[in-house]
């Protein structure tokens, strides 16, 4: 009979094999669920994970979808390595878009060279304000950052709804919950003219690389890693826990805000209630699938972005519900956490008595 036996140290093999096994199990489980729904399992999985890449401009759409996930996943990987559990990147994403979008609406005719940097800075500051408030509550009142960051995510979403249905609503938008379109000077620069491939596509992997260097090669990164593994040792070594909490929340919040403002100015061209399909929550899965490595979140972000594109294709071609994307992502997280038991444990077969 199978049993679980502690390894005594983490398995380097399973650290990288666990996500692969989780993905295979996710495909098999999803296939069974789709079969129970009366859909061909093989065709459905193919539609989710392969078909979007075969469409015209499929790789461009994938890169645009992946950019915000990679930015947020990289920031979260830093925070989580320090055991600082920022669950509210959805709110930081939204507040960044609100702050940057407000600047775009207020100064539509400002010169492009001044306007877009101001918009991007506004997005970063908005995300940092949200993250900083969570850090303040944690360091001042010892409030659980999981609860406070999640709470602010919902507050910020309602703030967006209020703005786009009230003071910022487009008077020529036929009553739809959206702002006026941003001016051309406020839009994110395009890497490929005539497409939605904006500057964020290039920035996202550079952010991942920069944060990996910081985390692995700098004293600050060493402080994050020590705090996550042995908080007492971090304090004994002279690292300020409160300072590290602030820095981690400002990094992860600022990057989420940048992702939000780039989504608003690079993909949508305005603010709407449909600003995010849940990128902030999906970024949590991206961080864990990437093994909490800012480099690892790059392929993880591409995979989760593919699930969004595949979910849209499954709705159109197979008549599956909108929830199919969330189902796939939830199953993936379930199996990833389950397979991670093999990091510290091995399966032993014992003879039955």
Quote the pLDDT of residue 235.
86
* 188-192 mean pLDDT: 95
pTM, whole model, 2 decimals?
0.95
Quote the pLDDT of residue 234.
86
* 288-301 mean pLDDT: 96
**Segments in 143-218 forming alpha helices (H):** 145-165, 200-217
147 CB-near residues (< 8 Å, 6+ apart): none
Distance CA 91, CA 149 (A): 8
Cβ atoms of residues 262 and 123 within 8 Å? yes
Quote the pLDDT of residue 311.
93
Distance CA 80, CA 128 (A): 17
178 CB-near residues (< 8 Å, 6+ apart): 164, 169, 170, 270, 271, 272, 273
Tally the C-alpha atoms within 13 A of residue 120's C-alpha that lie toward its C-beta: 17
Give residue-wise pLDDT tens across range 96-143.
999 999 999 999 999 999 999 999 999 999 999 999 999 999 999 999
Distance CA 269, CA 279 (A): 17
Phi, psi dihedrals of residue 337, rounded to the nearest 5°: -65, -35
Name the average pLDDT for the chain.
94
* 156-162 mean pLDDT: 97
Cβ atoms of residues 227 and 235 within 8 Å? no
Terminal C-alpha separation, the chain: 10
Confidence of residue 232 (pLDDT cuts 50, 70, 90): confident
Give residue-wise pLDDT tens across range 51-78.
999 988 999 999 999 999 999 999 999 9
Quote the pLDDT of residue 2.
66
The b-or-e profile of 24-60 (16+ CB within 10 A means b, else e) is: ebbbebbbeebeeeebebeebbebbbebbeeeeebeb
Q: Is the pLDDT of residue 351 over 70?
A: no
Percent of the chain with pLDDT over 70: 98
Q: Is the pLDDT of residue 349 over 80?
A: no
Quote the pLDDT of residue 7.
80
Least confident of 46-50, 164-168, 254-258, 268-272: 46-50
User: Is 335 in a helix, a strand, or coil?
Assistant: helix
Quote the pLDDT of residue 350.
66
């Amino acid at each position: 009979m199978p049993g679980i036996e502690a390894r005594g140290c983490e398995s380097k093999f399973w650290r990288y094999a666990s996500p692969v096994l989780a993905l295979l199990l996710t495909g098999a489980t999803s296939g069974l669920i789709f079969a129970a729904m009366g859909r061909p399992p093989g065709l459905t999985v193919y539609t989710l994970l392969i078909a979007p890449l075969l469409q015209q401009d499929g790789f461009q759409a994938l890169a645009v979808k992946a950019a915000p996930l990679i930015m947020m996943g990289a920031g979260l990987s830093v925070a989580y390595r320090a055991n600082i559990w920022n669950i509210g990147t959805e709110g930081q994403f939204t507040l960044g878009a609100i702050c940057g979008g407000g600047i775009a609406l207020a100064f539509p005719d400002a010169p492009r060279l001044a306007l877009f940097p101001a918009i991007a800075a506004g997005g970063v500051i908005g995300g940092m304000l949200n993250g900083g408030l969570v850090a303040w509550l944690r360091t001042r009142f010892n409030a659980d950052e999981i609860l406070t960051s999640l709470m602010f995510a919902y507050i910020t979403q309602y703030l967006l709804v209020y703005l786009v249905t009230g003071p910022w609503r487009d008077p020529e938008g036929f009553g739809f919950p959206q702002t006026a379109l941003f001016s051309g000077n406020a839009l994110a620069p395009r890497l490929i003219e005539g497409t939605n491939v904006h500057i964020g596509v290039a920035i996202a992997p550079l952010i991942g690389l920069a944060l990996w260097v910081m985390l692995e090669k700098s004293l600050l990164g060493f402080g994050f890693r020590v705090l996550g593994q042995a908080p007492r040792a971090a304090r004994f070594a002279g690292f300020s826990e409160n300072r590290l909490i602030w820095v981690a929340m400002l990094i992860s919040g600022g990057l989420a805000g940048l992702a939000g403002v780039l989504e608003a100015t690079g993909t949508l061209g305005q603010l709407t209630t449909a600003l995010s399909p849940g990128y902030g929550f999906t970024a949590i899965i991206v961080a864990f699938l990437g093994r909490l490595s800012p480099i690892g979140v790059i392929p993880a972000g591409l995979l989760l972005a593919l699930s969004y594109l595949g979910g849209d294709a499954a709705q159109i071609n197979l008549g599956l519900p909108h929830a199919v994307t969330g189902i796939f992502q939830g199953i993936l997280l379930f199996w990833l956490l389950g397979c991670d038991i093999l990091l510290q444990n091995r399966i032993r077969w014992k003879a039955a008595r």
